[in-house]
Structure 1
Amino acid sequence: MTRLSQLGNELHTGNRSFPFVERRRTWLTVAAVLVLLSVLLVAFKGINAGIEFTGGSQFTVTGTQNLEEQPAHDVVAEVGTGQVARVTTVGSTSVRVQTEELTTEQTDAVRQGLAEAYDVPEADVASTFIGPSWGQDITRQALVGLLVFVVLVTIVLSVYFRSWQMAGAALVSLINDLLLTVGVYALVGWEVTPATVIGLLTILGYSLYDTVVVFDKVRENTQDLDEQHERTYAELSNLAVNQTLVRSINTSLTSLLPVGSILFVGALLLGAGTLRDIALALFVGMFVSTVSSVFVATPLQVILQQRSEDIRQHTDDVLERRRRRTAKDTAAVAAAPAAPAAPAAAAAPEESTVAGTHRGQAAQPKRRKGRR
C-alpha cells in the first residue's frame, strides 16, 4: 500500500509518467483489432442465445440429489426428438433441461423419463413452453433503451464538457466495451439470457463513470491552456490520465472483487446459473471499461481535439519554444570558456614549507645541545 501510495503521489505531481497518450495510435490499433475479433467471433461462431430468445420447451427437476447432466441427455435422446438438450444445474438440488419446441406427447415422455432418471416424483418435474416472441420483445426493448441512453449521454456530455470531441470519444469507448463483452460471450459459449442483457446495460453506466472521471481531470488541466506554454494539450491530457490512474485501479478492484466472488464462487462452484449469466457480463464489462478509459477514451479525444486549429497552434507554439530553449542552452554550453588548468609549480611552496618544517624540527635539538 505504501508503494502504491508513493506511486500515486509521483504520478500526480508528474515526477513519474506513463506514455498513455504518447502511444495513442498503438493503443487504438490494439483496441480496433480486439473489436474486429469480437465481431468476427459473433459473426462466425455466433451467440449461444437462451431459450428466452429462441423459444422452446424447458423442464426443471427439483429435489434431486443427482446433479449429473448425462441422464437428461439420455432421456431426450430416447424420446427420439433428434435434438441436443441444454442441461444446467440450478442451485444444489435442481437441474434445468432446455430443448426446442416439443409436442404434447414428447413433453409428457420427457417428463416421465426425467422423473425416473433423477429418482423424483413426476410432480417435481415442471415443464413450460416459451415462445420466441417474448425474447424478441426483450431484444427490441433493450435496443430502444440503448438508443435512448446513447442520445441522452451524448447531450449531457456535450453540455457538461462543452466539447463534442469528449462526448464522441466517450461513446466510442462505450461501444468498445459492449462489443468486447459480447465477444467474450461468443468465445466462451456461455448462454445469453435476459440476465445477461441486464448485465450489459449495467456496464454502460460503469463505463461512462470511469471515462467521465478521467475527462473531468483533463478539463481541469487544460482549462487555462492558452495562458501557459510549457506543456501541450496531449501532455496535459496524459498527465490527467496518470493522476487518475491509481484511483481507477482502486475503484476497479473494489468493484471486481465482489463481482468476481459472485462469478467464481456463486456461479462456478455453487452452480447458480442465473448469477453466472449476469456476473460474467459485469466482470468483463467492468474490467474492459477501466482499461478503455485509459487506453481508448483519452487517446481518442486527444486525436479529435488536435483537429482544432487552436489546439494545433498552441501545440506548435509550445514545441517551437521548447526547441528554441534547447538550442539556446546548447549554444550557451558551447560558448562557456574552459576552466584554466592549475600550474604545476603551485605545489612547490607547500612542498618547501613542509620541508622547512621538517628541517626546523631537526635543528631544534642541536640548539638545545649548544646551550648545555
Structure 2
Amino acid sequence: MSKLGNLGHRLHRGEISYDFVGRRKYWYGLSILITVAAIVGLAVNGLKQGIEFSGGAVFTTPKTSISVSDAQDRISGHTGGHNATIQKLGNGNLRIQISEISTDTSKQVQQEIAKDLGMTSSKIDAEIVGPSWGKEISQKALEGLIIFLVLVVAYLAIAFEWRMAVAALVALLHDLTITTGVYAIVGFEVTPGTVIGLLTILGYSLYDTVVVFDGLKEATKDITKQNRHTYSELANRSLNGTLVRSINTTVVALLPVGALLFIGGGILGAGMLNDIALALFVGLTAGAYSSIFIATPLVADLKEREPQMKALRKRVQARRAADTAKAAEAAARGETEGEDADRGEEDGPAAPAAAGVVGPRAQGPASASSTGARPARNQPASRGNRGRGRPSGKRR
C-alpha cells in the first residue's frame, strides 16, 4: 500500500506519467470493440424483461427439497404456454416466474403447479403483475433516464464547457451500452432493481469524470499565455494526477458490490440481489474505464481542433525546435573547445629557441648560463646620437 501511495504522489507531482491522451486511438479502438460486442449480444439474445415490465406472475413455494431441474420437469406443460424461470432461494423456497400471462390464467397455473409439486394451492404465494402496469413502469424508467442525461449535459456545459459535456455524455452512453449488453449476454432479468443500478452507476461514472474535468479545468487555465505545453499534454498530466484517486474510489466501491453479487446472489441464493448487483458491478468498472480512457482523451481531441489550440501547438513546436537547435549548437561548441584543448595538450609547451639563433632582445654578451657572469640589464634604446660619447648619456 505504501508503494501505491508513493506512486500516487509521484503521478500527482508529475514525476512519472503514462501517455493516456497520446495513445487515445488504442483506447478508442478497444472501446469500439467492446461496444460492438455488447450491441451484438443485445441484438442476438435481447433483454429478458422481468414481470414488472412484461407482466406475469411470480409463485413462491414454501421450503422444499425439490431441486430446480426436478421442479422444471414437473411443471412443464402446465405454465399456460409460457416459459417458466425457477430459482432456488436461500431459505429453500422455490421462486417460479412466468411472464406475460393474464390474471385469470395465473390462478389456473397456480393450482396446477401446487398439484405438480405436491403442495396445497393456499401455501403458494402468488404475485400478479398486469402488462399495462409493466409498460407504464418501462415508460417512466425511460423518461427518467432521458431527463437525467439532459440535466447532466446542461450542468456540465454550464460548469465547464460544451466539449466536456459532450465527452461526458459519450462516456455515459458507453457505460450504458456495455452494461445492457452484459445483461443480454448473461441472461439476467431486467427488473426495477436493474434500473436503479443503472442510474446509480451513471452517478458514479459522472463523479469520476467530473473529478478529472475539474483538475483539467484548473490545469488549463490561461493556457494560451504560455508556450511550453499543448492542451493534450496538460490534459494527460491532469489525468495522471487523479489516476490513483479514481482507481481507489472504484475499488472501494466494487468491494461491497462484489460481495452483494457473488456472496449474496451466488452463495446465499438471494436471486433478487443479482439484478442490481450485476448492474452496479459492470457499470462501476465501465465507468472507471470511460472516465480515464474515453472522456479526457475525447475532450483533448475536441479542444485541439480550436484555432487557438492549433496556434498554441505551433508555438510549442517552434520553441522546442529552437531549444533543440540551441542545445545542439552548445554541444557542438563544447566539442570544438574540447578538441582544441586536447590538441594543445598533444603539442606540449613551446620549444626553446634553436641554437645559434639570436632574437632582438638576446643580442650582446653570452648568457649567464654559459659564462657564469651576471646577465647584463637591458637598457632602453637612446633617443638619437646627442648623448653619444658622454659618460652619463645625459644632455647638458
Q: Say whether the fold is shared (TM-score over 0.5).
A: yes
- Secondary structure class of the residue paired with 2:301: helix
- Secondary structure class of the residue paired with 2:76: helix
Which whole-Å CA distance do the structure 2 matches of 1:23 and 1:94 have between them? Answer: 53
- Listed as ranges, the matches of 1:304-315 within 5 Å are 304-315=302-313
Matched with 1:202 is 200
Residues 182, 333 of structure 1: alpha-carbon distance in 2 compared, 3 angstrom cutoff: same
Contact persistence 2:102–2:130 (CA under 8 A): no
Residue 71 in structure 1 maps to residue 70 in structure 2: yes
Alignment RMSD: 2.2
Which structure: larger Rg? 2
Contact persistence 2:258–2:281 (CA under 8 A): yes
Q: Which amino acid aligns with 1:4?
A: L
Give a deviation string over 1:139-161, Cα, whole Å, max 9, x none.
Answer: 11111111111121111111111
Deviation of 1:103 after TM superposition, in Å, equals: 7.2
The percentage of aligned residue pairs carrying the same residue is 44
- Listed as ranges, the matches of 1:185-224 within 5 Å are 185-224=183-222
- Listed as ranges, the matches of 1:290-369 within 5 Å are 290-336=288-334, 337=336, 338-339=338-339, 340-341=341-342, 342-343=345-346
Residues 124, 318 of structure 1: alpha-carbon distance in 2 compared, 3 angstrom cutoff: same
- Listed as ranges, the matches of 1:1-372 within 5 Å are 1-62=1-62, 64-66=63-65, 68-79=67-78, 81-101=80-100, 107=106, 110-115=109-114, 118=117, 120-161=119-160, 163-336=161-334, 337=336, 338-339=338-339, 340-341=341-342, 342-343=345-346
Give a deviation string over 1:63-104, Cα, whole Å, max 9, x none.
Answer: x13262123212321537444311112332321112245578
Residues 105, 23 of structure 1: alpha-carbon distance in 2 compared, 3 angstrom cutoff: closer
Deviation of 1:279 after TM superposition, in Å, equals: 0.5
Give a deviation string over 1:153-194, Cα, whole Å, max 9, x none.
Answer: 111111111x11011101110111111111111111111111
Q: Which amino acid aligns with 1:234?
A: S
- Secondary structure class of the residue paired with 1:97: strand
Contact persistence 2:74–2:117 (CA under 8 A): no
Q: How many residues align?
A: 344
Give a deviation string over 1:264-286, Cα, whole Å, max 9, x none.
Answer: 11111111111111000011111
- Between the two structures, name the one with larger relative contact order (CA 8 Å, sep ≥ 6): 1
Matched with 1:365 is none
Unpaired segments ≥5 residues, structure 2: 350-396
Q: Which amino acid aligns with 1:99?
A: I
Which whole-Å CA distance do the structure 2 matches of 1:141 and 1:227 have between them? Answer: 49
